[in-house]
Structures are given as structure tokens and as C-alpha cells.
Amino acid sequence: MTATLAKLGYGSLFQTSNNDSPLTWTAMSEVRSISLPGLSRDVIDASHESAPNGWREVLTGLLTAGDFSVECNFIKTTYNTLFAELSSTTIKARRIVFPGGTFLEFNAYLISLEGMLDSGAVVLSTAKFRPSGQPTLTVV
């Protein structure tokens, strides 16, 4: 029996760049979970009245990296930085660093910021991002 190649998420990082050259990366503090952007392709219906044997015909369309979120413990300085970013229309380079060093890099806008208060739990904040353009996976 072969050993699994699965990895724990412990040690993963979510980083944002300063957009300077060269890029300098800053990790978000106390991240609890990161949802990866879903990758998909549009499917365009190209059916017509003369389609062979009445079967639909489709074309492949544009690729999309879907929205993703980062949940972290509420840290005032992190929340304030994200809160200020909501007012900005500047896209930033982001990356998710997996345990072992492999990373997924992309440009993304911050599109929402939420918090969760519960008297019996840690105060949380969740930032949601929307990628723009092609992500790059660098395997280490």
C-alpha cells in the first residue's frame, strides 16, 4: 500500500504584495482558513436550427478564477488595512502559499469584508476577493 500524498493545511499563508518592483509580500495575520478560487470555463451554446440530428453544439469560452475568501482572527491592524483597501480601486498581487512552498499567485480585488461576533467564540473577520486574469501555480 502506498502512503498518501495529502498534506495538512497547517502552515499555509495568504500574502498581499505592495505592487512595487520587486514585489514585497506581507502575510495576513492569524489566518484560520483559505478557500481556493474555483477555476472554470464558460460554455457558449452555439446551437442552430440545422444542428446535426437535433443535438446542441457548444463552444468553449473564457476561463474564470472565481471568488475566494480568507477567514482570520480579528486583528485590529489587519482589519483596518483591509477596511482602507475597500475604498481603493487598485488591484493587488496576491498569493496563497501551501505547506512545502508551492504557491498560487494572481491579481485580485478585495470585494467584501465581514466580521463575526459570538460571545462564546473568537471574534473573526472574513475578506472576500475576486481574481482578475490568469492565476499562476508555482510548484516547489
Domains observed in the chain: 13-138 (4.10.410.40)
Q: Which residue spans within the chain are E strands per DSSP?
A: 13-17, 25-27, 31-34, 39-45, 58-65, 68-73, 92-97, 103-116, 124-138
pTM, full prediction: 0.89
Alpha-carbon separation of residue 128 from 4, 33, 37, 86, 90 (angstroms)? 32, 12, 10, 11, 15
**Number of neighbours of residue 96 by Cβ within 10 angstroms:** 22
Is pLDDT of 2 > 90? no
Look up residue 89 and give its three cell numbers: 480601486
The whole-number pLDDT of residue 50 equals: 93
Average per-residue pLDDT in the chain?
Answer: 94
Q: What is the pLDDT of residue 110?
A: 97
